[in-house]
Structure 1
Amino acid sequence: MHILVTGFEPFGTDDFNASGAVVSALPANVAGRRLSTAILPVSFDRSGETLCALLAEHRPDALICLGEAGGRAAITPEAMAVNEDHARIPDNDGAQPRAETIISNGPLSLPSGLDAQRITALLAAAGFAAQVSEDAGSFVCNHVAYLAYGQPVPALFIHVPALRPDGGEPGVGRETDPRLASPATHDAKGDLQQLCAAVELVVANL
């Protein structure tokens, strides 16, 4: 089985993105599954193009997309994504769409192609803090999730906490939950290993 796993580059004022760090640390093989990994741009325009090019290049059997959510302390598989871009801050290209549809005349929402409830239960049973989510926000993470869930390959978007080196507070990364006053902070070294183990567990059970 061949699985494509993506994360994101740093964005805004930060020079670190937990999702990209996790993806970069993943091995090439997990439990007999072959992994291809890639880092997506934090760009409304370029992220979808990059994802489609990766799918055409690798032709995976499944797709896992990772993003970070600064207001969450748990790993949150996204059960659905909505057909709307509504940015609180600009992306890395300076674009800041407001209430724009991702795909004209597309469904208002799309469900994940992989079972978010089952994956969440699997993570929780293994001792990871995990909760299923039905709100991927309206920034680039949701944009990618919506496009991924419309692909013929089964896909799941998973938000991970926006950990930072030395437990620092993320300057951005709260776009999924912009109403939260302060993001959760984490020790990057230990939590990065735990997040990698969590993703490997997901991959091993696809």
Structure 2
Amino acid sequence: MPTKILLTGFEPFGGQSINPSWQAVQLAAAELTDAGYVVHTLELPCVFGQSAGVLSSALNEERPDLVLCVGQAGGRGRLSLERVAINIDDARIPDNAGNSPVDSAVVDGGPAAYFSSLPIKASLLELRRIGIPAEVSQSAGTYVCNHVFYALMQELQYGVHRGAKGGFVHIPFSPEQVPDSSVASMETTTAASALAAIVRVSVATGGDIAMAAGATH
């Protein structure tokens, strides 16, 4: 049976008219489908709670073997392979429904954190090999991206999806979001190529590799 893949991105938020995470997911899905992979895509609402519920429904319907959730991290200059999801919602800005949770658990009684089950180091090595700026990130923040990341890993740990691989990636702004080049950006096509590469590595890799990619602060 072919590996079933679920890719998710987000709707626009924070006053933006686009979200490159969803654009990149669609492009990556097309590339992977052309290469023979079975890929489903999902646009998530940028809303605490609702986003996790929509993701859970898709997991139950599609039963994927591999899940890669993608979000936008404006200001970052590299694609970020997220290592850790933490059990906290702490909103600096309201979500798209006006919710601003502060110091709330993503899952009441859940563990403090989960690690990604994707081969993030092997993926980083491949992205460097093909010339795409990337890094391992130690924090997915405390906004809806982390909320979804944590909810995903909770589902993969305790739900009917045990054994599936999953994780989260942040991509920078797209150039059209920063026409004055005041902050870093990445072409959406480049981000899409990176997502496709991460999927290929994740499908082909049983475990991860030992490789320094930590942070001093």
- Report the TM-score, using the length of structure 2 for normalisation: 0.83
Match of 2:165 in 1: 154
Q: Percent identity?
A: 35
Match of 2:59 in 1: 55
The equivalences for 1:1-206 within 5 A come to 1-26=3-28, 27=30, 29=33, 31-150=35-154, 151=156, 152=162, 153-165=164-176, 167-168=178-179, 184-186=183-185, 191-205=187-201, 206=203
What per-residue deviation string (whole Å, max 9, x for no partner) do you get for residues 166-200 of structure 1?
A: 64379xxxxxxxxxxx7x3436xxx1111111111
- Report the TM-score, using the length of structure 1 for normalisation: 0.87
- Once residues 16 and 169 of structure 1 are traced to their aligned partners in structure 2, the CA distance between those partners, rounded to angstroms, is 17
Greater shift, 155-164 or 85-94, is seen at 155-164
1:95 is displaced (CA, Å) by 0.2
Question: What CA RMSD, in Å, does the superposition of the two structures yield over aligned residues?
Answer: 1.8
| Structure 1: gaps (5+ residues) | 171-181
What per-residue deviation string (whole Å, max 9, x for no partner) do you get for residues 153-176 of structure 1?
A: 210100000224264379xxxxxx
- Once residues 178 and 90 of structure 2 are traced to their aligned partners in structure 1, the CA distance between those partners, rounded to angstroms, is 29
1:31 is displaced (CA, Å) by 3.4
* 3-state SS of 1:32 partner: coil
Aligned pairs, how many? 191
Alignment CA distance shift 1:105-1:32 (3 Å): same
| Structure 2: gaps (5+ residues) | 157-161, 204-217
1:30 is displaced (CA, Å) by 5.2
